[in-house]
Amino acid sequence: MIPFVDLRAAHAEVADDVLQGFDRVMRDAAFVGGPDVAAFEEEFAAFSGMPHCVGLGNGTDAVEFALRACGLPAGAGVVLPANTFVATAEAVLRAGLRPVLADCDDDFLLLDPESAASAAGPDVAAILPVHLYGQQAPMAAVHEIAARRGLAVVEDGAQSQGSAQEGRPPAELVATSFYPGKNLGAYGEAGAVLTSSPETARAVRLLSSHGSLERYRHETLGFNSRLDTLQAVVLRAKLRRLAAWNEARRAAADRYDKLLSGVEGVRLPRTAPGNLHVWHLYVIRVPERDRVLAGLHAAGVQAQIHYPVPVHLQPAFRRLGYGPGDFPVAEKAAGQILSLPMHPHLTEAQQERVAEVLREVLSGL
- Delineate the domains of the chain, giving CATH numbers in brackets: 7-236 (3.40.640.10), 242-363 (3.90.1150.10)
Q: Could you read off the pLDDT of 348-362 as tens digits, one per residue?
A: 999 999 999 999 999
CA–CA dist 113, 103 (Å, integer)? 9
- Going from the first residue of the chain to its last (365 residues), give the mean pLDDT of each consecutive group of 10, the final group possibly shorter: 98 98 95 95 98 98 98 98 98 98 98 98 98 98 98 98 97 98 98 98 98 95 98 98 98 98 97 98 98 98 98 97 98 98 98 98 94
Task: Please report the pLDDT score of residue 360 as a whole number.
Answer: 98
C-beta atoms surrounding 95 within 10 Å: 22
Radius of gyration of the chain (CA): 21
Count CA atoms within 13 Å of residue 238 on its CB side: 26
C-beta atoms surrounding 98 within 10 Å: 18
CA–CA dist 181, 133 (Å, integer)? 12
The answer to whether 300 and 188 are in contact (CB under 8 A) is no
Q: Is 79 helix (H, G, I), strand (E, B) or coil?
A: strand
The mean of the pLDDT values for the chain is: 98
